Amino acid sequence: MVKSLSFNGGTLVVTICKEPIIVIETVEMLYRFVNGIGFDNLKTDFVRKHHAKKNDRWVSYVEERAAILSGIMARVCKDVDPKTPLLQYYFSGYSYASHSDKCCLAQLMTWILAAYTPGFDSHISALKAKWLEKLREKDSIMLSPGISFEFDSGDKLRAELVDRIDALQYPEEFRWRLFKLISNPEHYIDELADLIRPVAQRLSCELLKLQPEVDAFELYWNEYFDTHSFSDFSLSFCHVDAEFTTEQELFIYIGFMNPTSVVSEIGSNSQASWYVRMGWLLDEEIARVSNNLLIDEICDVLKVLSDKSKFVILRETNSTPRYGAELAEQIGLTGATISRHMNTLFNCGFIIAEKHNTKVYYRTDKERLAEFLRTLQDELLK
């Protein structure tokens, strides 16, 4: 489905892509499989968090979809040994700052420079090309969640690669794997592709059976943009307030194996396309600020707020949007450290990104922060 929306004197072309991105779907499924993370959380944490906005019919819907995804993973991975050393190498989960930051090397490889190409081989080729271009042009490398490597505008790196990776809070084993990946990306992308190709082929066959669900996904987003602007969408689902002056393109892909999350990539200039992988089970009601946080989520957020630097960032961006390099100089932190802190705060929903031409500015989401503080008070004093 393709439709055009007018805004600010320009045009937004929205494309709902009905074919899942099979490389990403395979990586997300294998991450769950290797780490023993099933889809039961959809019937517990996800339902508990959002049930107040929904009804019992929605609960049954989520439970049915969780059963579908569990069945797919069981069939596709029936003959896969999760303890295989190479699977462990790419898919063992590591935490950065909190439980919500947990991820694996294969996820980082597909998040850093996401290639929005449904076909397996074309996706791998595009992924390698983007890696090499990024390194050749000495552009910033953003690893989500919570890691950023910034290059100066000239030829000199801000710091040696090994020093920057050593500064990360991941375990030493994971930092070493990350260093080797960034040093020789083509080798590791090819190795990952060979590892997951048979699984991806089986998963593709399974996802073809979900065409009615894909059609429902397309219908929902078609109707959503009949009544909502792009600003509504970007703020609600991506926490980004962007400034547009020319024709834009937005591509929305369905996400099956990570059905409750949103992953987006904003182009580096005002004419670039926006790509969003939208979790299968997300909708407008769920995207709204929720005051029904789970205990683990509250504790994760408190860990974030207990860090002095992050606290100062929230205070300094409270009234005026700030550019990362400017903020780093003011409070005496490196650009890489600011980027890591911003990513963590962004994942908590406390920061909104504002894109102006080629720069991204950050401001505190006062509503989200105030809602969290009210939730904390209610939870402790109830």
The DSSP code sequence of 340-377 is: HHHHHHHHHT-EEEEEETTEEEEEE-HHHHHHHHHHHH
Share of the chain above pLDDT 90, in %: 26
b/e map 267-294, b = 16+ CB within 10 Å = eeebeeebbbbbbbbbbeebbeebeebe
pLDDT of the residue at 157: 43
Cα(334)–Cα(94) distance, rounded to whole angstroms?
24
pLDDT of the residue at 335: 65
Helix (H) or strand (E) run with residue 253 in it: strand 248-255
Is residue 58 predicted with pLDDT exceeding 50? yes
pTM: 0.79
Cα(96)–Cα(103) distance, rounded to whole angstroms?
8
User: 147-149 and 274-279 as β-strands: parallel, antiparallel, unpaired?
Assistant: unpaired
pLDDT digits (tens, 9 = 90+) for 254-300: 999 999 888 777 655 445 678 888 998 888 888 765 555 667 667 77
Encoded amino acid at 373, one letter? L
pLDDT confidence band for 311 (50 / 70 / 90): confident
Cα(259)–Cα(20) distance, rounded to whole angstroms?
12
Within 96-227, residue ranges assigned H as helices are 105-112, 120-136, 161-166, 172-183, 185-208, 211-227
The DSSP code sequence of 146-159 is: TEEE-B-SSSSBSS
What is the average pLDDT across 237-259?
77
CB 199 within 8 A of CB 80: yes
Domains (range + CATH), the chain: 2-285 (no CATH), 289-381 (1.10.10.10)
- Beta-ladder partners of 277: 253, 263
Count of beta carbons in the 10 Å neighbourhood of residue 35: 15
Residue predicted with more confidence, 335 or 125: 125
pLDDT of the residue at 233: 84
pLDDT of the residue at 228: 83
Is residue 206 predicted with pLDDT exceeding 70? yes
162-176, 178-192, 315-329, range with the lowest pLDDT: 162-176
pLDDT of the residue at 164: 59
Residue predicted with more confidence, 166 or 69: 69
pLDDT of the residue at 155: 40
Assign 323 to helix, strand or coil: strand
Q: Could you tell me how far CA 238 lies from the centroid of its own chain?
A: 9
pLDDT digits (tens, 9 = 90+) for 314-360: 888 888 888 777 787 787 776 656 766 776 777 677 888 776 666 67
